[in-house]
Homo-oligomer: A and B are copies of this chain.
Amino acid sequence: MALAEEVRGRTVVGIARPRVDSVPKVTGAASYTGDVPIGGLVHGRLVLSPHAHARIDGIDAGPALALPGVVAVLTAGDLGIADGSGRAHEPLARDEVVFAGQPVALVLAESEAVAEDAVEAVVVDYQPLDAVLDLERAVEADAPAARTGSGGDEADVAMHGDAGAVEVLEGAEPASPNVTGEHVRTNGDLAGAFAACAAVVEGRFRTPWVHQSYIEPQSVSAWIDGDGTLVIQAATQGIFYTRQHVAKVLGLPLTGVRVIGATLGGGFGGKIGLFEPLVAAAALRLERPVRVVLTRTEDFAATNPAPGCLIDLKIGASADGELLGLQARILLDEGAFADFSAASFAAGRIGGPYRWAAWEARCLGVRTNRVGSGAYRAPTAPQTAFALESLVDELAERLGLDPVELRIRNAAEEGDQRLDGVPWPGLGLREALEAARAHPLWQRRSELPENEGMGLAAGLFPGAKSAAAAVCRLDADGGVTVVTGSVDMSGTDTGLVAIAAEVLGVDHDRVRIVAGDTANAPHAPVSGGSTITYSQGNAVRAAAQDAREQLLRIGGEELEIAVEDLELTDGVIRPLGAPSRGVTVEEIARKVTGFGSPYPPVEGHGRTVPVELAPSAACHLAHVRVDPESGFVRVLGYVSVQDVGRAINPSLCQAQMHGGAAQAIGWALHEQLEHDEDGQLLNGSFVEYAIPASDSVPPIETVIVEVPAPHGPLGAKGIGESAVVPGPAALANAVHDATGSRFRELPITPERVWRALAR
């Protein structure tokens, strides 16, 4: 691919523009799953278990069914879902509930209010069982089993780039019934490596359960079409994945299911097929349209947040700062369901973006009676980076080395091995670190007043490379329609528009993008793994290139000039160097869409799969002030430096970096799902669960670094996940800088700071 050729015009890429979905979203016009009017709709509301672990001895739906307007009360046996491994096979608990908040019945009524009332009237006879909630207790040999029956685990979502290369080693017979698997990455002579170190640091790190906190709760509608097709409209990150998933769980042919993506009100990894099987089963059972929109409290209690971690990490380096040895043991609290394979990720991510001489990383997936775990933006990377980057900082201190210099010295180069043995592609880590080091905030770090501190950390997420296709269609008015099957998440559609406009040489506002559904859209990956701009963007680039070539061929025929002697810029095809002659894209559009067209329609089709990953390296600087009286940490300044490959639309890059930084502040200082000793969620609302609000997020400065991805669309990389990774570590390092104390548990609450200062 000739980059120079493609960016010739450079009329679109690199220019900051608002998102194509800004106006409908800002004005409230955007239509989410819950907004779509559906004739004859039945509303569903979940009956949730109050017990973390119990046997269900019976469910009496009679009193609920007696209420006027109640259509049905469904329990597991009514769903027609085959036994099978994984949460999808158990959208309603069968005989055993394994977390407090687990759905045990679905009440269906003519209105949401009636359904709500009827939930209270469903009588469930629970027989409480011993619950296991503590992660360390759970791995003990005599721990109670978090699940006594069968079912449970299935890792069938593997959208992230790591997964293909993961080597899952089943360890020796797990000591506890709750260990679901052991994932080991090992290489080299670790004892020898540590022996050669001038300094070795180690620590035990804890990170809490954290919720994705998308603003729109989980929402699914399902109905049966005139031709018998089960149609699902949902807040989902991936329509094709959801189709396959639902068809499999319900035993339907793929052709019998059609999934329509709705406007997505945030996802962050949390909206990948969780409630679709349940709502679909209900619609099939009732033969009426069914919709379930979770309340905020239900969403906190019953979904799939990020797992808690316990990380024991030890690293060492030579006197001149060469990282030699890494040893890690991670307990990953997967909760009651581990459908998402985070444990295998953690064992790889703990190595960070560095080159190591020898390593042994071990991660145990552990079942507890907490809510099932899922993916959240860069799964396990903020947690492992928190541990690793804290210790790297400490190591620099011990060795008397500049912390940036230590990182640069060990930054993985192309061909270096990741912990899983896969070679790293080229990274822009060094460039990001250099840019961070040069930033005035970092340069002035020694001038900070008392109680203030500056922290730095680096990190990345490998991302995914996915097979994708796209269509780029010329319409009758000369506008271009990009058709994809991908879900617009975090502004990806706007980036795809820019790629098409740039390649085609037409104005940005002449390109529109539409998402098809599974019946008619080109194949697309799940919006996850930072893959849309990188993988789907490549398909759009190829489709636009194809359409451009078609336009030039027609231009050549119309102008009777060889295609090589033509250029297409600003919507006009002209002979090179003869700007006065030309045929416009609009003229061609009228011709090819009119009756009696002498040419076929102009429609480019791109089908691609990137040949390698293109991780986006990030480096965050955090400037904090710690109130010694209260322990309260205020973030005064924040710089997010990130290699984006090429900034297709700098506004979108900044938005990702802003959002990542804000979520990092949440990870570092505020967020944790708290369960009491019985497994009851204590903070299931945005009043109690503290996501960063405007008063806790300072203006975030962004520094965009561009180290083009050789195989990315116009050089772009997928940037969404890396944007959060170094943040918690940078903030912890800043708090250490301000206080002299190392914080090894997230979030760094005022109480924890106050206690540390008091010691």
Contacts and interface: CB of A to CB of B under 8 A. Distances in A.
A582 to B, nearest CB: 23
A254 B477 contact: yes
A467 interface: yes
A163 B32 CA distance: 45
A601 B519 contact: no
Contact of A522 (B163, B471, B596): B471
Given A254-B479, A522-B473, A607 B596 contact: no
A467 B519 contact: no
A525 B596 CA distance: 10
A228 interface: yes
Contacts of A603: 469, 522-523, 605, 607
A326 to B, nearest CB: 26
Q: Which of A32, A158, A603 has the most CB of B within 10 A?
A: A603
Contacts of A514: 519-520
A475 interface: yes
A397 interface: no
For A164, A475, A607, the residue with the greatest tally of chain B CB atoms inside 10 Å of its CB is A607
A227 B31 contact: yes
Nearest to A519: B514
A512 interface: yes
Interface in A224-259: 225-228, 240, 243-244, 247, 253-255
Contacts of A525: 595
A692 interface: no
A467 B599 contact: yes
Interface in A263-313: 263, 289
Given A596-B163, A599-B609, A481 B519 contact: yes
Contacts of A739: none
A601 B520 contact: no
A35 B40 CA distance: 12
A35 B158 CA distance: 41
A449 interface: no
A375 to B, nearest CB: 13
A228 B605 contact: no
A468 interface: yes
A38 B39 contact: yes
Contacts of A226: 24, 29-32, 35-36, 263
A630 B516 CA distance: 61
Contact of A37 (B29, B39, B516, B550): B39
A550 to B, nearest CB: 8
A593 interface: yes
A37 B35 contact: no
A600 interface: yes
B31 A605 contact: no
A644 interface: no
A148 interface: no
A236 to B, nearest CB: 16
A47 interface: no
A539 B598 CA distance: 15
A159 interface: yes
A601 B477 contact: no
Contacts of A243: 476
A518 B590 CA distance: 16
A466 B227 contact: no
A483 B595 CA distance: 21
A520 B512 contact: no
A597 B467 contact: yes
A368 to B, nearest CB: 27
A15 to B, nearest CB: 21
A521 interface: yes
A47 B30 CA distance: 36
Interface string A451-473: 00000000000001111110101
A592 interface: yes
A608 interface: yes
A471 B254 contact: no
Nearest to A21: B227
A227 B467 contact: no
B597 A466 contact: yes
A419 to B, nearest CB: 18
Contacts of A247: 477
B469 A600 contact: yes
Contact of A471 (B29, B164, B244, B605): B605
Contact of A600 (B31, B163, B481, B609): B609
Given A35-B226, A158-B595, A159-B595, A512 B255 contact: yes
A467 B32 CA distance: 36
Given A255-B479, A595-B163, A601 B469 contact: yes
Contacts of A31: 225-227
- Which 10 interchain pairs have the tightest Cβ spacing? A31-B226, A37-B39, A164-B596, A605-B605, A523-B601, A600-B607, A516-B520, A467-B597, A254-B477, A514-B519
Given A30-B226, A37-B289, A605-B605, 16 more contacts: A36-B226, A37-B39, A38-B39, A163-B595, A164-B595, A240-B593, A254-B476, A469-B473, A469-B600, A469-B601, A469-B603, A471-B471, A473-B523, A522-B601, A539-B600, A550-B607
17 contacts: A29-B227, A29-B228, A31-B226, A32-B226, A164-B595, A253-B477, A467-B599, A469-B473, A471-B605, A473-B523, A481-B520, A514-B519, A516-B516, A523-B601, A599-B609, A603-B605, A605-B605
